Structure 1
Amino acid sequence: MKRVLGERIAGDLVASGVSAVASSPEEMRRDRRANLHILFLLAVILAPLAYRHWSTGEWLPAAAALVLSAVFVANLWMILRRRSGFLSPPTVLLLTIPLVILSVMFGQEYSLFWMYPLMVAVPSILRTGAGMWLGAPCLMVVIPAVFLEFETGMALIMLVSMIHTLLVSWWLMRAVNQQSSRYRNLVIHDALTGAKNRRHFEEELASAFSLWQRHKRISALIMLDVDHFKAVNDELGHAAGDEVLKALVALIQERIRGADTVFRYGGEEFAILLPETTVSRALVLANELRDRVKTSHMLPERRVTISLGVCDPSVAESADDWLRQADAALYRAKAAGRDRAQQVASLVQLPEPLGDALPIWR
């Protein structure tokens, strides 16, 4: 339960990785598992309320509890059948809170104590500050029931404790979310350059190749390498080499669109993934980057150049093959004398999706 709710609250952490594909199978499995446990958690609250009302002959709240139980069972059945539940966790929560209040109105004062786990569940289920906006109206609805059923002193104590419970839960969720964001950045970014890392690159590449296979949505891949980088490290030191890599990534990020992504593949080798871009347009960008690097004077002691290989998924049988083709084009560029870009000819003729020039969308 702790692990599942943790995934629900904090999202993808270091242990489980970060998926860049929306609604990926792993993401859907985690979401189903979290919803399943949340429903079980709320069923623990619902079951004693339904039993108590039924045994005392209070038919209205008993019927409401039974209907809500049937809804829960249907939702659980759909999740267990690997389908999406027709009720989201916030909806389930909103249905449970009125039942608790209804139970209090029928004389079951102890039902108010179920509001404590519900107040904790509000930020936990929503995972955002919106939990406060849902929790506040819940408290406003509960206040009359508290003061009607208990003496003023006890009612004030219960009200203050519920407010504290909601605030502490919200603060904890906010702290966890902030920490999760930091972990997520560590998982997908290269610490030195700030580019996305190799693991994230492999996920993005697989996603782009899948889009090509299913929907013929073209993308271009650029592999690039710093020429004679070992000589830079040997002659000027690794600190100078690190500065070159950071300056290179900054230069690329200034030029590419917001939809494009630069990755550090390994050492001095980088990859740029360009959605909705043909090979010919990617080659234009590759040569522009090559010229910018050559004239940027990254190091006063020597000129820095790069070699690039460009490829699209039409020539590949898999994402790995796509990467090999682009890498082969890169090494042909290096073998031809470096400081140049080579492309793998596309096997399809598609309309240019970006017009006459590659726009900067940043």
Structure 2
Amino acid sequence: MLKRLKTDFRLSIITILGASALLGITPFAFMRFFQGNYVAGFVDTTILLVVSGGMAYAWVTGDTRRSGMVLAVVACSGAVAVAAIVGEVGLFWLYPCLVTAFFLVSPRVATLLNVSSIAAMIVQGDAFKSDVQMWTFVATALVVSATAYAFALRSDNQRERLEHLATIDPLTGVKNRRSMDEELNEAAAHAERTGLPYALVILDIDHFKKVNDEFGHAAGDLILVDMVTLVQQNTRKYDQLFRFGGEEFVLLLPGVDGEGLLSVMNNLQHVLRKKMKHPGGAITASFGVALLKHGESVESWLERADAALYEAKEAGRDRVIFSDTMPACDSDQPSDKPELAT
């Protein structure tokens, strides 16, 4: 529970809002019913139920985006309704709602909600004793909203940067292993639902350590960047490349199998062999390929591709080994012909 609150900022705000509603609104709801102000009591009870329900929904489903939107709208509109019913004292409820909205929804949506709430207060006007009080409220509410907007915008930018750093390999610019785990799980789930074939390729640059030792890590880094560029230029936009670790990369190919997969691997091997260079000359790569089987786990899928890569290395490198039975390949060069794992 505490871990989710620490890692999910919006969920923590929703939880705080829910707890505040239970502790802050419940006594007022009872008091207003007791005093005979049933309209205000009904509004307080409705806000309390919706906020509590939204908090429960967010915890159960993890969908904080939708629940956050509902809670922001209900909180702001509820605060306006309470102010219209009970008068001046109800104005104080709107200020925390104006701030909280920026942590529940995007800054643009929160700005729209805040401006709408302030405009609604001006139009109905019953909560103010004078025009001076009304315009004082408007000025302070706008200042609060502007400050919250600036803070929320900065927080969103920082969060996006942190998410980018957490999921992207800084050297090559492709997604890292953390992103790969999420994407492979999604691919396996999608394959189960739709029957779409998915191929997984683990590629490893041959003799990469020797290049680093002889020519330095700067040369090795350039090879990694060049290889990523070549792979991306010779695969589809929706194919995904991940850095698995060191000089190993994982390529996820949706919707391809059989002759199509064979053609893709032949072309990729040929391109890398022809265009990848290092200070001492040409450099090659080895490939292990596995098609996702029905009901197979991601771990097993990766293990089969890794085993095929290991066999490619043991067989002399610069070759493609398939973990699955593939059709024969027409090739003018024997070394271009992908082999089958035994």
Q: Is the 8 A contact 1:146 1:159 kept in 2?
A: no
Q: Deviations over 1:244-296 (max 9, x none)?
A: 00111122122222322111111111110112222543332222122212222
Q: Is the 8 A contact 2:167 2:179 kept in 1?
A: yes
Instruction: For 2:33, give the aligned amino acid.
Output: W
Q: Is the 8 A contact 2:58 2:67 kept in 1?
A: no
- Structure 1 unaligned runs (5+)? 10-30, 348-362
Match of 1:88, SS? helix
Q: Is the 8 A contact 2:227 2:276 kept in 1?
A: no
CA distance in 1, matches of 2:187, 2:203: 19
1:142 aligns with 2:121: yes
Match of 1:154 in 2: 133
CA distance in 2, matches of 1:76, 1:284: 51
The match for 1:204 among 174, 183, 187 is 183
Match of 2:25 in 1: 46
Q: Is the 8 A contact 2:288 2:312 kept in 1?
A: yes
Q: Deviations over 1:6-26 (max 9, x none)?
A: 7244xxxxxxxxxxxxxxxxx
Q: Deviations over 1:114-133 (max 9, x none)?
A: 11100001111113422112
Comparing 213-222 and 147-156, the one that deviates more: 147-156
Q: Give the alignment's Cα RMSD to 1 decimal.
A: 3.2
Instruction: For 1:232, give the aligned amino acid.
Output: V
Distance 1:335 1:79, change over 3 A: closer
The match for 1:193 among 168, 172, 194 is 172
The match for 1:249 among 211, 215, 228 is 228
Q: Is the 8 A contact 1:233 1:241 kept in 2?
A: yes
Match of 1:271 in 2: 250
1:175 aligns with 2:176: no
Distance 1:70 1:302, change over 3 A: closer
State the Cα distance separating 1:173 from its structure 2 match.
1.4
Match of 1:166 in 2: 145
Match of 2:8 in 1: 7
State the Cα distance separating 1:329 from its structure 2 match.
1.6
1:290 aligns with 2:291: no
Q: Is the 8 A contact 1:279 1:343 kept in 2?
A: no
Q: Is the 8 A contact 1:286 1:341 kept in 2?
A: yes
CA distance in 1, matches of 2:273, 2:194: 38
Match of 1:324 in 2: 303
Where do residues 52-201 of structure 1 align in structure 2 (5 Å cutoff)?
52-72=31-51, 88-144=67-123, 149-201=128-180
Q: Deviations over 1:293-345 (max 9, x none)?
A: 22225335310211111111228953222112112222322333322212122
Match of 2:170, SS? coil
CA distance in 2, matches of 1:5, 1:269: 33
Instruction: For 1:133, give the aligned amino acid.
Output: L
Q: Is the 8 A contact 1:311 1:344 kept in 2?
A: yes
- Structure 2 unaligned runs (5+)? 327-342
- If asked which structure has higher relative contact order (CA below 8 Å, sep 6+), I would say 1
How high is the TM-score relative to the length of structure 1?
A: 0.78
Match of 1:221 in 2: 200
CA distance in 2, matches of 1:325, 1:49: 63
Instruction: For 2:216, give the aligned amino acid.
Output: G
State the Cα distance separating 1:99 from its structure 2 match.
3.6
Q: Deviations over 1:129-148 (max 9, x none)?
A: 22112221111112245686
Match of 1:314, SS? coil
Where do residues 291-306 of structure 1 align in structure 2 (5 Å cutoff)?
291-299=270-278, 301-306=280-285
